[in-house]
Structure 1
């Protein structure tokens, strides 16, 4: 038989639940805020004590109302935060099971897809999915089996707020760690984000890929083109992440393909620009605007190779075999983009100081006067170069012994 104290607590619980059941939207909104403010950070046993061992009765009502109202956006943030109080409670694993049994994962993932919902709704849904993923491998697999990777990646790509994007990144990283069955799925999902137009999304995807690469161990071939295209960006933070990732991939079987791709980017093709349909375009402005990413990529490719040459003599030799000296000299003659000239000039200087045979042949190809001008200050040579000197560099046919000759 219940004591008088227990009867009072049960009576209070029943009154609370009745107020919820009969409450208007405004009443429920108040109840949710009071619950969140009062119970944030409580343990499972503390919540049971608060609800006279009937906390699950309130959790059931929360999840039921969420499923009925999330599509129209009724108090979605508050409902998710209240559910989060239960899911994050220490020694509250039973609440996690109860939420999963009523389709909680699918509901949270669906919230990420709805365009009409606010970003703060999606942030809260992502936080709940993080809590579930942190509970162990089988819960990560449940999220992935519910098309979680695709939904979270799409949320990351479409979100406008950095806070939402960062929460999505955290969840993707969680889903990959300690989840070998779906690691590759997360990895490929991140690669698919690289062509995204948002610099922040590209930056976060690259950061996560760098973290996951040591876990995945193999490299998917489709990453090469996407990574090289990242070098077209004018956003320094994105380019930095791309360069750091390329450095990591030098230890994998895509090294040769990446080096070949970098050398090819030293001499960008303008075919794509010429073949693009021109509708209401101002021709000079359009060509300048559309060629800029190619020149940015050209400069970045030279910069990456300079970094790689500094860090590895073996890679420097491999680049020589790809006739990189010839291509660097052509890039130095690019009067349309000063940064391409400067980066190519600095990278060539590194090769000259590393390999005597390069110094000998570059001197011969440039001619004594131009070579001496170049070696005085390679970084600033582009400031004083005239069109005749640029033509000498572009027209070079430098052939280093032991390396396939440049065709006439």
Structure 2
């Protein structure tokens, strides 16, 4: 480029910056829209050519305006998109360093935590954090050192937008990959999300935990209780992910704790079932109070059936936890036909696999009911009367060689 061309480019840049400095919200919005429209996807050298080697001068102004106004949301979405032009550009190392030096990461994380931030603005902030994380391990560590894992996890749990939640979960997964110093923190952060009230957050967290499980190579004991509680979810997609996670964890050290936790769910505690009676609430409310317990009961029966069919070893482990006694009890629960159906299907596996179980189950059911059970275990609950159901619930099956466990 000739000297005269250089001078013309510099003059153009100075005029552009002067217009920016002297303008208000409406003109700056127009400038940002034009900038995004014509520069998105450009490389760092191309941006520098556009700005006469002064791209940093505009980036500095952008970040300064964002930091001054992000709490009131002035053009925040446009600001974030414009900064994204710089941070997503190929060979963007200089822009990245400049953004970090002015506290850009902390500002983005604060945007995620603001109640007044729009969902689309949170999504743009997460995209910028993803651009930073994709630059390498050092940048992932900077985000984590800024309490980024907690901020992103809270955004995932509280967001009302599924798109924002998906972006947040993808960022958490990215922060764990190639970042050994903080991968356990991300893993535990996702576990901490399991009790949250958002089914989508639960689903995404479980999916990501399964991905990270192979990276961390160990299962933390804190996962057992919240994972079993997720089985209470009314959302089938959440239950599916929980059951898949439980299957995955059968290869890890939490296997005994999970099995010991699963079997008692077939026989909900009297305290849980009596809660509605103690509160003396109407019948419809009683149903809503006990329903999560019954949903969990049915899910536990289904999960145990899946696990038992995986290997004879798992079947034997479950047998020694008195799973047959608990399954027979669940079959007598006429308040929840799905619990009866799932328990009956699972019990059939143990009856056909272990002759000693067949003998004791036939004795507990009686010949007529046992014949119906073998004929069609899935539909047995439809052919069972209240007396037969009560007998099953009251039975205490003790199989020789299986230690008796006090309830």
| TM-score, normalized by the shorter chain, greater than 0.5 | yes
**1:33: Cα distance to partner?**
0.4
Q: Structure 2 length normalisation: TM-score?
A: 0.97
Say if 1:119 and 1:164, in contact at 8 Å, map to a contact too.
yes
SS for the counterpart of 1:304 is helix
Corresponding position: 1:243 with 2:246: no
**1:365: Cα distance to partner?**
2.2
Task: Describe how 1:1-400 pairs up with structure 2 within 5 A.
Answer: 3-272=3-272, 274=274, 282-400=281-399
User: 2: distance between equivalents of 1:98 and 1:211?
Assistant: 33
Unaligned segments of structure 2, at least 5 residues: none
Say if 2:120 and 2:164, in contact at 8 Å, map to a contact too.
yes
The alignment yields a C-alpha RMSD, in angstroms, of 1.7
**1:286: Cα distance to partner?**
2.1
Say if 1:332 and 1:344, in contact at 8 Å, map to a contact too.
yes
**1:283: Cα distance to partner?**
2.9
**1:407: Cα distance to partner?**
6.1
Say if 1:398 and 1:406, in contact at 8 Å, map to a contact too.
no
Distance 1:217 1:25, change over 3 A: same
User: 2: distance between equivalents of 1:368 and 1:275?
Assistant: 36
**1:373: Cα distance to partner?**
1.3
Say if 2:272 and 2:293, in contact at 8 Å, map to a contact too.
no
| 1:120-165 deviation line (CA, Å, top 9, x unaligned) | 1111000000110111111111001101011111111111110111
Say if 2:329 and 2:394, in contact at 8 Å, map to a contact too.
yes
User: 1: distance between equivalents of 2:201 and 2:273?
Assistant: 26
Unaligned segments of structure 1, at least 5 residues: none
Say if 2:364 and 2:397, in contact at 8 Å, map to a contact too.
yes
Distance 1:108 1:278, change over 3 A: farther
User: 2: distance between equivalents of 1:395 and 1:4?
Assistant: 97
SS for the counterpart of 1:250 is helix
Say if 2:294 and 2:336, in contact at 8 Å, map to a contact too.
yes
Distance 1:369 1:93, change over 3 A: same
**1:274: Cα distance to partner?**
4.1
Say if 2:277 and 2:286, in contact at 8 Å, map to a contact too.
no
User: 1: distance between equivalents of 2:273 and 2:186?
Assistant: 34
**1:216: Cα distance to partner?**
1.2
| 1:140-197 deviation line (CA, Å, top 9, x unaligned) | 1100110101111111111111011111101111111111111111111111111111
| 1:5-44 deviation line (CA, Å, top 9, x unaligned) | 1111111111111111111110000000000000010001
Distance 1:368 1:117, change over 3 A: same
SS for the counterpart of 1:115 is coil
User: 1: distance between equivalents of 2:106 and 2:170?
Assistant: 19
Say if 1:270 and 1:291, in contact at 8 Å, map to a contact too.
no
| 1:26-79 deviation line (CA, Å, top 9, x unaligned) | 000000000000001000111111111111111111111111111110100000
Decide which moves more: 396-405 or 269-278: 269-278
Decide which moves more: 288-297 or 216-225: 216-225
User: 2: distance between equivalents of 1:145 and 1:187?
Assistant: 16
User: 1: distance between equivalents of 2:277 and 2:54?
Assistant: 67
Say if 2:275 and 2:289, in contact at 8 Å, map to a contact too.
no
Q: Structure 1 length normalisation: TM-score?
A: 0.97
SS for the counterpart of 1:219 is coil
**1:387: Cα distance to partner?**
1.1
